[in-house]
Amino acid sequence: MQFSYEYPPFAERLVLVSSGGLGREVHLLLRAATLPGSEVVLPLIAHERLHGVGGALGAALGRLGLRAGTDLAEMARGYGSLADAGARQAFIHSLRAVLDIGGQRVSANDRLYLAELLPALVIWGGQDPLIPIEHAAVAHRELPRSRLEVFEDAGHFPQLHEPVRFAHTLIDFIETTEPTEMEFTDADFDRMRELLLRGKG
C-alpha cells in the first residue's frame, strides 16, 4: 500500500487483503506481542510441544475471539515459525515499528488519496478477528476507484478460507480494469505535485 503511493510509476493496480495501517484497532494478541518481555513468551508459544496440545490452545484462542479453521491453522503455522530466533526477532521488530499496546501507530489514511490514480481492490473477511471489517470501509472510501469484496464467512485469511472465490475475484479485477501506466513525464510529475499540495482534504 505504501509502495503504491510512494512509487506510483512502479504500480499498476493495488489489492489490499485484510490490510493493516487503516485504523488503530487491532486484536489484543497483536498488541500484547509489542509489550516488553514478549521475546521471552513467544518462544514458549512457538514451541512444537505446545502445538501437540492444539485442542486446548484452540479453545483458549476461541475465548479470545479467534475462530477454529483457517484463522487458527494459519496463526499456528505463523507462530511455529517463531521458534527460530532470527524470525522471532524480525517479527517483534516489525510489530513494534507499527503497533503499541494501544493499537496501530501508523496510518495510511492521510496518504491513500495519492493512490487515487490506481484501480484498487479491497478484500476482507467479514469475521476478521485481528483487524476489524470497518477498516475495509475506510480503505474503500479513501480509494475512490476501489472495489470492495467482503467474504462474509471468512476470518483474517479470506484467501485460505475461500481460495477459489478469492482467485476468481482477483482475476476478474485484473481483467476488468486498465492498469495505470505512468512513465512520469512532466505532466505526471505535475499531477503528483498537485496531489501532494492539495493534501487529503
Which pLDDT score, from 0 to 100, does residue 134 have? 92
Per-residue pLDDT, 54: 47
Task: Name the CA dihedral angle for 190, 192, 198, 201, rounded to a multiple of 10 degrees.
Answer: 150
Could you tell me the sign of the dihedral formed by the alpha carbons of 3, 141, 26, 158, in that order? negative
Higher-pLDDT residue of 50 and 87 is 87
Q: What is the spatial order of strands in the sheet that 14-17 belongs to? A: 14-17, 120-125, 146-151
Between residues 144 and 189, the one the model is more confident about: 144
Amino acid at 102: G
**In the chain, count of helices (H) and strands (E)?**
11, 5
> Does the structure show a pLDDT above 70 at 120?
yes
Question: What is the pTM for the complete model shown?
Answer: 0.69
More confident site: 201 or 133: 133
CA 12, CA 180: separation in Å to the nearest integer?
5
Lowest mean pLDDT among 35-39, 84-88, 109-113, 136-140: 35-39
- For residue 104, which phi and psi values (nearest 5 degrees)? -70, 135
The model's pLDDT over 35-68, given as tens digits with 9 standing for 90+, comes to 676 665 565 555 554 444 444 555 555 555 555 5
Number of residues written out for the chain: 201
Percent of the chain with pLDDT strictly greater than 70:
68
pLDDT tier for residue 169 given thresholds of 50, 70 and 90 = very high
Q: List the one residue out of 16, 22, 23 whose CA is nearest residue 1.
A: 16
Q: At residue 124, does pLDDT exceed 90?
A: yes
Pick the CATH number of 2-23+107-198 from 3.40.50.1820, 1.20.1260.10, 3.40.50.11290, 3.30.70.20: 3.40.50.1820
pLDDT higher than threshold 80 for residue 181: no
- The structural domains of the chain, with segments of one domain joined by +, span 2-23+107-198, 28-104
pLDDT for res 182:
61
160/83 Cα distance (integer angstroms): 23
- For cell 462474509, name the residue: 152
Report CA-CA distances (Å) from 50 to 41, 45, 76.
Answer: 13, 7, 10
Rounded mean pLDDT, 11-19: 90
Give the separation between CA 190 and CA 199, rounded to whole angstroms. Answer: 14
pLDDT digits (tens, 9 = 90+) for 151-160: 999 999 999 9
